[in-house]
Amino acid sequence: METSVVLSFMVKQMEGHEPDVLSLTPVLSGVLLTELVESFERKHGFEPTGGYRGLIPMWAGLTPPSPPPGYGSLEHYFIGRSGQGHRTGHSLLECQCGNVGCWPLFARIVVAERTVVWDSFRQPHRPQRDYSDFGPFIFDVDQYRKAVIDVAVNNPELRFAWEDDQD
């Protein structure tokens, strides 16, 4: 496996909401994941295309399913641990409206000794769509973990709703 994707995140205030409502969008080698998936959907003739925005951690977990206790941190989420036992996988993007589960993009996160892989993408509201040519995205495990920890440490307000129950 070739490791070539560099992970970073864009943190942005959600327009029209309180200043502490932030979205978190993965950036893959300098390109927003929202742009990558919209381009893929357009190329494959999917309708509608796009309509995604980053996750809004403070709103996640307010509706089922929320992760089991001990699996709620941002770090655990992107390291792939919080999806254990959830058949839906990990939502990497949500609907641009901000409603959790409205228009998510799910993927599987697999952490190995030297790599982290995002694959098996799917849009649960359009199960007939074939995303098998989207990805896999392969990251160096050390760079990936550093990006996830850095965004969490530098943005402590990026908390999942269920983390408040664990303090």
Reported as a single tens digit per residue, the pLDDT across 22-54 is 888 999 999 999 999 999 999 999 998 998 988
Residue 131, number of CB atoms within 10 A of its CB: 20
Please tell me the total count of domains within the chain: 1
- In a domain, residue 1? The reply is no
- In a domain, residue 140? The reply is yes
Q: Please give the residue range of the domain that contains residue 13.
A: 7-166
- In a domain, residue 128? The reply is yes
pTM score, whole prediction: 0.83
Which of the pair, 134 or 95, is modelled with greater confidence?
134
- In a domain, residue 110? The reply is yes
- In a domain, residue 116? The reply is yes
Tokens 């839906």 belong to: 88
Q: Give me the pLDDT at residue 155, please.
A: 79
- In a domain, residue 2? The reply is no
**Strand ranges in the chain using DSSP code E only, listed in sequence order:** 7-13, 22-28, 31-32, 52-53, 90-95, 105-111, 115-122, 137-140
Per-residue pLDDT tens digits for 62-92: 443 444 444 356 777 787 654 443 455 788 9
- In a domain, residue 53? The reply is yes
- In a domain, residue 141? The reply is yes
**Average pLDDT over every residue of 115-133:** 92
